Chain A
Amino acid sequence: MEASGATVARRDTTLLARARDLFSRYALILVLALLPLGYAADDLAGGHGLSRIATNLFEGLSNGAIWALIALGYTLVYGIIELINFAHGDVFMIGSFVSFGLWGTLGLTLATGPLGLVGGLLVTLIVAMVVCGTLNTMIERVAYRPLRNAPKLAPLITAVGFSFILENVGQLWLGGSQQGVPDLIHSQSELLNVLGVSVKRADVLALVATPPLVLALTTFISRSRLGKAMRATAQDPEAARLMGINVDTTISVTFLLGGMLAGAAGLIYALYETGIRFDQGFEAGLIAFTAAVMGGIGNLRGAVLGGLIIGCIQQVSDNRIGGEWTPAIVFAYLVLIMVLRPQGLLGEETREAG
């Protein structure tokens, strides 16, 4: 009797858990689709077709692709040492500044021919990635490694400190106001128009440049020895150490990869926005960190998904509701997602989450 009672109870619990999971999943889909579906219905009712909402979502995806690259850096670091690297957004800003500086050195201007431009931008991409990767690794070595066994608040404070240092460096470098950069790719020129959706060069740049970088990163992490070491360290650093993995080197490589992605994002951002600013990393960092949490902290695919979703929410809100409401709407979405699915859209991949 007792055994059958326990079985019924277990079945009830399983059913309840499944129902809760189904509810959280579908309610979440409903929440995410609420804004675009509502406006799509509104457009159709007004006889305007779907091109406007499609444009909003397409621009959102291109904007979100940049957030995704930055979000990957946050999620990589959090996944491995459970630290919110507040300086990451500012490393991204340095990536933009280095790129801009290098264009001057290489002589890239609006008059540069297509071949020279592609070559120059490739060199810029490599240099920006190397500089930002090295910078991020150096920050880890100086500000985080000595505090590996300190209370969690200590590296958090040094991260904030480094964020301010980099912002100051940026301000001394190019001044306090926005620095216009040459629109090398004629970012707002329309390349083609698909069913009323205008595809601009800036959108193509973000959408074409991001996937290979994400793919390279995921392949490196899933296939390479160092990538496996990173995953092992993320799961259990002590066990990884006992298995002969050099945990310090693995963590440094993680920072290197995160910094390299931030450098690439910095270059893409400069080309996309045609303007850079010393404090651009603060706002971008906040958005990217939100994207990482939304997708499930520590989860690489989650960070990309979170970035793309935030990009879409921003564009829909900017275009339909008003720019002053956008930050509130983005964070309202984050709250709803966290309430319905505390582990984020694709689930956390941290030691705490198991």
Chain B
Amino acid sequence: MRVLRWSMLAIGGLAIVFGLAACGKSSKKKSAGASKAVSGTSLTIYSSLPLQGASGPQSQAIVNGAKLAVSGVGGKVDKYSIKYSSLDDSTAAAGKADDATVGANARKAVSDSSTIAYLGEYNSGATKISLPILNKASIAQVSPSNTYVGLTTNKPGSEAGEPGKYYPAGTRTYARVVPTDIIQGAAIAAAAKADGCKSLHIWNTQTTYSSGLARNLSAAAKKIGMKVEGNDGIDPKAPNYRSLAASVHSDCFAFTGEIESNGVQAVKDVGTSHPNIKLYGGDGVVTNEFASTSKGLPASVGARFKGTIATLDPAKFAPAGKKFFKDYEKTYRTRNPDPYAIYGFESMALLLDSVKRAAASGTVTRAAVAKALLSTKDRNSVLGTYSIDKNGDTTLTDYGLYKVVRGKLKFDKVIKATK
């Protein structure tokens, strides 16, 4: 009996020792994967974007832009051939990014040993899910559209625990090519103030992006002397907002939500309930579809709408930017590229440049590419010259103000908002 007991104890002890050893080995393997040089000469860059639903056209423009960037370098960086794989993070049923699909896409990229970088997500809320997964594997990630403050800093607009919780590896791997909502919020407030607004009512759709931008806008509006009469979260699934619109009493109204969160209906209902109210929105709604009279705002409401997006007037871009628009129009046979196309191009170009710099400094590993990404300095790009700061934010600060003219977005002016 005593022998049996000692044998059981010995087996148990051995199991614990082997178990601990296996754990140690697996955690070592993870970090080894991040710093291990790529075997072979084929690298994959994944993108994860909502190709279905209301954001589908913008996502497709980003994919087109990214493809143009890859073909611009002949599909090769240094000795490596680049394979671009576009993933869809939305589902047909949801008509927008789906959390489970976002996670599955990120895990797919992590498990592919040829993955070197990741382009995405389109929505800040989706990045909250993919970023920790990719960060653990030290995969460089660039978003063409995220503006939510908390993804990179704990500045106003962020929530408790941000941004640390998105970086379980302890190092930064994420960057974005659009300015944050601190700047966008200030830009919308500045535009409203310039139009003579004295009071502002804000609606948000309770998503990460929307409520964050609403907080930033509210703070910026108060700072420049505007009265904020309300910051209401709306139900994105409501059939209409007419009664809610009746409770808006300000001379100006701002919607910080997304087009896929019933954005058209919300702005339309406020616009029709108050025939003289001035309407504003952020980059979640400044799209060709939102402006279109057939799919978006009726002409009488559209005429009173202005919105911000980081894209500036194509005519005022530097030669590189102008060349992009020319190439894009020629390749995709369109005369009116979506404002997000250039961000898709630049996100991919930034990742390719990071791979190039990592290759130039020695071996190409996931960690080396992420490090190169975060040390981007004075990059001459289609968007102009910018750097990526230590948090992963771009140093670009200008927002373009667009208005709607006869169902089309029309560039109005550049807003130079201070942080």
Contact = CB atoms under 8 A, between A and B. Distances in A.
A279 B95 contact: yes
B283 to A, nearest CB: 16
Given A175-B56, A176-B95, A324-B206, A56 B233 contact: no
A147 B104 CA distance: 36
Interface stretch (A125-133, A293-301, A315-323): A315-323
Contacts, number: 107
Interface string B265-299: 10010001100000000000000010011111110
B52 A59 contact: no
B227 interface: no
A178 B93 contact: no
A178 B264 contact: yes
The secondary-structure label for the interface of chain B is loop
B243 A318 contact: yes
A314 B243 contact: yes
Interface in A127-165: 164
A214 B92 CA distance: 35
A327 interface: yes
B95 A275 contact: no
A183 B264 CA distance: 14
Interface string B41-62: 0000000000011101000000
A236 interface: no
Contacts of B240: 63, 272-273
Given A318-B243, A326-B238, A273 B52 contact: no
A274 B298 contact: yes
Interface residues of A, number: 39
Contacts of B272: 188
B351 interface: no
A319 B246 contact: yes
Contact of B268 (A167, A274, A280): A274
A324 B247 CA distance: 14
B8 to A, nearest CB: 47
Contacts of A60: 243
A323 B233 contact: yes
B262 interface: yes
Contacts of B206: 324
Q: Which of A316, A318, A319 has the most CB of B within 10 A?
A: A318
B244 A168 contact: no
Interface in B34-78: 52-54, 56
A284 interface: yes
A190 to B, nearest CB: 11
B241 interface: yes
Given A275-B268, A318-B241, A178 B247 contact: no
Nearest to B50: A176
B244 A319 contact: yes
A279 B96 CA distance: 12
B322 interface: no
Interface string A36-57: 0000000000000000000110
Nearest to A178: B264
Contacts of A196: none
Size band of the interface chain B makes with A: 35 or more
A176 B238 contact: no
Q: Which of B247, B293, B297 has the most CB of A within 10 A?
A: B247
B296 A180 contact: yes
Contact of B239 (A59, A164, A280, A322): A280
A177 B54 contact: yes
Interface in B339-378: none
Interface in A319-354: 319-320, 322-324, 326-327
Contacts of B169: none
Contact of A171 (B92, B265, B294): B92
B242 interface: yes
Contact of B233 (A167, A178, A319, A324): A324
B243 A180 contact: no
Contacts of A179: 294-295
Nearest to A186: B272
Given A178-B262, A180-B264, A319-B244, A327 B295 contact: no
Contacts of A316: 243
B66 to A, nearest CB: 21
Given A171-B52, A176-B53, A179-B295, A323 B234 contact: yes
A177 B239 contact: no
A323 B241 contact: yes
Nearest to A280: B239
Nearest to B266: A323
Given A55-B246, A59-B242, A177-B54, A275 B265 contact: yes
Interface of B: 52-54, 56, 92-93, 95-96, 206, 232-235, 237-244, 246-247, 259-260, 262, 264-265, 268, 272-273, 289, 292-298
10 contacts: A55-B246, A59-B243, A171-B95, A176-B54, A180-B295, A188-B272, A269-B239, A319-B246, A322-B232, A323-B241
Given A167-B93, A315-B243, A322-B232, 7 more contacts: A56-B243, A176-B54, A177-B53, A178-B295, A188-B272, A319-B247, A322-B244
- Which 3 A-B pairs give the minimum distances between C-beta atoms? A177-B54, A176-B53, A318-B243
